[in-house]
Structure 1
Amino acid sequence: MRYAQGGGLTDAGRAARERVRLEAVSRFERGETAGQIAAALRVSERSVERGRRAWREGGTAGVLSKGSPGRPRLNDGQIARLERELERGPLAHGWEDQRWTLARIKTLLGRLFHVSYTVEGTWGLLRRHGWSCQQPVRRAVECDETAVEVWKKEVWPEVEERRRPARHGSSSKTRPASR
């Protein structure tokens, strides 16, 4: 069964499905028909037949869950190493500037751990471990904050006063005369 919006089974849901599969195995061993098993377990006959085929080919292990398909591929030690490498910065890894992008982190994951993530998968991995998306504030290198504050306090009020005040009921645009 496919789940919309990226949903899926929880660990408890997977465990419940596992119990149903194991019950099906015991019924396969007793020789029950697909229809009987499907009715008793409230599943489709097609699912029962798929389970029976997996059981014939791999035994009980053949019908057991393989686990969550989206489980992380990096262990805790690798995550800790990744965090240390990210803290070293992009310059230490051969990039010209100090911006970590998802594409760069994806490349770093491949270099360090020989795993391939998509850009989206890289973002999911970082989010799961507390990283966030940050856009650097763009400021001119030559910016003088004290000069900016002085300008705001002294020059800007004068500029505001010189603007022509609007008279009550006036409009800057003229309307054609109504007929």
Structure 2
Amino acid sequence: MAALESGAVGSYRQAAEVFQVAERSVGSWWRAYQAGGREALAVKRTRRPGPHELIGEEERAVLFQAMADYTPEQLLIGGPLWTRPLVAELVRMVTGMVMTERGVGKWLRRHGFSPQRPDRRSYRQDQAKVTAWLRDEYPAIAAGAKAENAVVAWADQCGLRSDTAPPGRSWAPKGQTPIVRVNGHRFRVNIMSAIGSRGTLYFTVFTEKFTEKVFTAFLDRLARQAGRKVHVIADRHPVHRSKAVRAWLAVRFEPIPA
């Protein structure tokens, strides 16, 4: 523009040849410069609007908290690392929405996630939070259950493999490692269980993944076997807090807010 204004170049074509740009662009820039000065030449970068965020803020918080607190293996949906297919499965569990691997990758990057090599760290319970909950919140739950002649049940789920050696140590002569014979036919089952305050045990064994359908079926059986109102205490597993489970509870029971 300075060359055109000073007369160093006499035409759009000459300016295009000198500066190796398109002649049409020179004309557009010159007209913009004449109308608005240098500010009119600033490139206005506009971001194409992306797809509407279908996952709400509350569900997104549940998903990210689950990824921070658990591995896919602990949630009974996969191995030890969060991959795009397993995140897609987690999204389906919590929201009922089906996402492609590519879509999951874009969604994670949009919210500040990136694939990284994990560090090894021992798992420890936050004892301070547990103590505070037992001191401040649990007494009210227990008192309410007693007043209603209800059952308090502590629920959790885990997986068992046929080729897993039993935990603990076994005495043996020094230098002779003890051998535990395990089943060569590998298979895995999952267990959903709940134990009442008086020691009553409720459980179910299943081979499929732990989903809201499995959980609600277990709750239904638990209520029938107890024969009265049940206050279920569970962890922050995403299935426990999923939209489908909350809707199921709202119809049949009186859930305690998370």
Higher relative CO (Cα under 8 Å, sequence separation at least 6) belongs to: 2
Tell me whether the two structures share a fold, i.e. TM-score over 0.5: no
**Higher share of residues assigned strand:** 2
Q: So what's the TM-score if we normalise by structure 2? A: 0.26
Quick check: which has more Rg, 1 or 2?
1
Q: So what's the TM-score if we normalise by structure 1? A: 0.36
